[in-house]
């Protein structure tokens, strides 16, 4: 575990330290597209954050190759090299797209080629466990097609969800954390060494996302762009393929004979097939809804719009930060719920806990105007928008005092508090009132 933590920390540190220089390079290179109709941000923001994430990936693999235990992964498996080859190719395509905005079909072809490169080097699905049937071996063509399809779907699912500051990196980090815990448990609890590459990929992926998030949280100073979203999507898919297609479920020895009919005992066997689906459940749902919505309107499935799940959260009244946190919550609920169920499928408390947390999430989802406030003793540790305003300023309704309090908030959150500030000018009448309102609107 210490070697995994070291690899994670090195990956996060390299990604974090390189993101600043990459931002300056993106500005000089002109990788700052104009604001589009579907964009949420208001000012041109540099892309190419995937450059720092890719070098973080390279640093993580390099460090792991020189560690005592993790070096065995490189000696006994060719999967790390396959991942690096596919990641390099998809990263180059993403960099070109961030700068020149290449055609969607060209990107799709590049994604398929990157997946094919990994298949050729051995990172492919060899078999799948099916309920009621057992482990089904796949032919070479079946394994190749299934692998390419999983890689392409995962890459585009992550790319589609990358619409708010910190959303894609945070959701993928949550998914990678759940996936790491599952793969690590298979390796050390059941002694299956084939799960070691997936554990390494998940640890490195967490480091890439954690290192980039401080620069990408709202208001973002840099975007990961397609060079980053497609990269982390491919790494996530590689871990899922490694566990699903390389680990033989029969090696877990969880049942024999008539016990095969017990559903609870079979859950840990079939979870390798379910886990990759749960970690991309929300991005995949957004991807399917987008394709159906655009096709129904007679548009291309690759035509961008403002109908994604995160856009809908903003439309019903949630602030930028709250919409991201809601997406985080449901991603964690699905991923860690599946993980807990795989550990103890017979426990009813797990099901009840998931149902209870789902109800809490629905309540938060339907309360877009609810603004949480931190306790007074913790105000210095939280963002300004969660601090309690002074009672005197609230009671007096002084516009100047109210504006001063709002000035502490980040520029990106100023729009989210418009409904709280407008009533301050109600007491002003006539021309002066109109002038005050117009002045404050221009200031925003």
158-173 confidence digits (pLDDT tens): 887 787 788 889 989 9
How is the chain split into domains, by residue range?
Answer: 2-365, 376-443
pLDDT over threshold 90, residue 242: no
What does pLDDT average to over the chain?
75
Grade residue 4 by pLDDT with cuts at 50, 70 and 90: very high
Helices marked H in 247-306: 263-279, 281-296
* pLDDT at residue number 405: 40
CA gap 284, 159 in Å, rounded: 10
Q: What is the pTM of this model?
A: 0.74
Question: Cα 47–52–56 angle (5° rounding)?
Answer: 150
Asked if residue 219 has a cis previous peptide bond (ω within 30° of 0), the answer is: yes
* pLDDT at residue number 63: 95
pLDDT over threshold 70, residue 317: no
**Residue 232's Cα: distance from chain center in Å?**
8
CA gap 337, 340 in Å, rounded: 5
User: What are the distances in angstroms from CA 28 to CA 42, 69, 99, 221?
Assistant: 20, 42, 12, 15
CA gap 117, 124 in Å, rounded: 10
User: What are the distances in angstroms from CA 301 to CA 17, 151, 274, 377?
Assistant: 37, 18, 26, 50
Grade residue 214 by pLDDT with cuts at 50, 70 and 90: very high
* pLDDT at residue number 354: 80
pLDDT in tens, 381-438: 665 655 655 433 444 444 444 444 443 333 333 333 333 333 433 343 333 334 333 4
CA within 13 Å, CB half, 397: 8
CA gap 23, 28 in Å, rounded: 9
pLDDT in tens, 172-187: 999 899 889 888 888 7
Per-residue burial over 169-180, b if 16 or more Cβ lie within 10 Å, else e, is bbbbbbbbbbbb
CA gap 411, 389 in Å, rounded: 18
């Amino acid at each position: 575990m210490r070697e995994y933590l070291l690899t994670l920390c090195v990956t996060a540190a390299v990604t974090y330290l390189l993101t600043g220089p990459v931002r300056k390079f993106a500005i000089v290179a002109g990788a700052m597209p104009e604001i589009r109709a579907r964009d949420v941000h208001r000012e041109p923001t540099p892309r190419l954050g995937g450059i720092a994430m890719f070098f973080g990936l390279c640093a993580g693999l390099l460090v792991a190759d020189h560690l005592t235990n993790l070096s065995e992964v490189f000696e006994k498996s060719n999967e790390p090299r396959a991942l690096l080859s596919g990641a390099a190719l998809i990263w180059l395509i993403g960099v070109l797209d961030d700068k020149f905005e290449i055609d969607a079909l060209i990107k799709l072809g590049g994604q398929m080629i990157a997946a094919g490169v990994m298949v050729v080097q051995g990172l492919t699905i060899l078999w799948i466990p099916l309920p009621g049937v057992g482990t089904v071996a796949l032919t070479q063509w079946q394994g190749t097609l299934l692998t390419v399809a999983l890689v392409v779907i995962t890459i585009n699912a992550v790319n589609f969800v990358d619409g708010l500051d910190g959303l894609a990196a945070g959701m993928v980090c949550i998914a990678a954390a759940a996936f790491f815990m599952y793969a690590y448990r298979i390796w050390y609890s059941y002694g299956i060494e084939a799960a070691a590459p997936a554990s390494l990929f998940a640890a490195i992926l967490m480091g890439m996302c954690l290192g980039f998030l401080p620069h990408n949280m709202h208001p973002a100073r840099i975007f990961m762009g397609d060079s980053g979203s497609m990269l982390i999507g491919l790494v996530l898919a590689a871990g899922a393929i490694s566990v699903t297609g390389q680990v033989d479920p029969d090696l877990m020895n969880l049942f024999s004979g008539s016990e095969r009919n017990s559903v609870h005992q079979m859950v840990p066997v079939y979870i390798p097939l379910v886990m990759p689906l749960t970690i991309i459940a929300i991005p995949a749902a957004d991807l399917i809804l987008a394709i159906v919505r655009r096709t129904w309107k007679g548009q291309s499935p690759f035509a961008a719009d403002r109908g994604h799940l995160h856009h809908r959260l903003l439309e019903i009244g949630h602030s930028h930060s709250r919409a991201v946190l809601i997406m985080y919550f449901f991603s964690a609920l699905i991923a860690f719920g599946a993980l807990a169920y795989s550990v103890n499928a017979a426990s009813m408390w797990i099901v009840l806990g998931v149902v209870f947390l789902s109800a809490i999430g629905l309540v938060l989802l339907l309360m877009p105007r609810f603004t949480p406030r931190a306790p007074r003793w913790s105000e210095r540790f939280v963002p300004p928008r969660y601090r309690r305003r002074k009672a005197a300023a609230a009671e007096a309704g002084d516009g100047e005092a109210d504006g001063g309090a709002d000035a502490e908030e980040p520029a990106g959150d100023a729009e989210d508090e418009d409904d709280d500030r407008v009533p301050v000018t109600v007491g002003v009448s006539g021309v002066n009132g109109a002038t005050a309102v117009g002045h404050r609107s221009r200031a925003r």
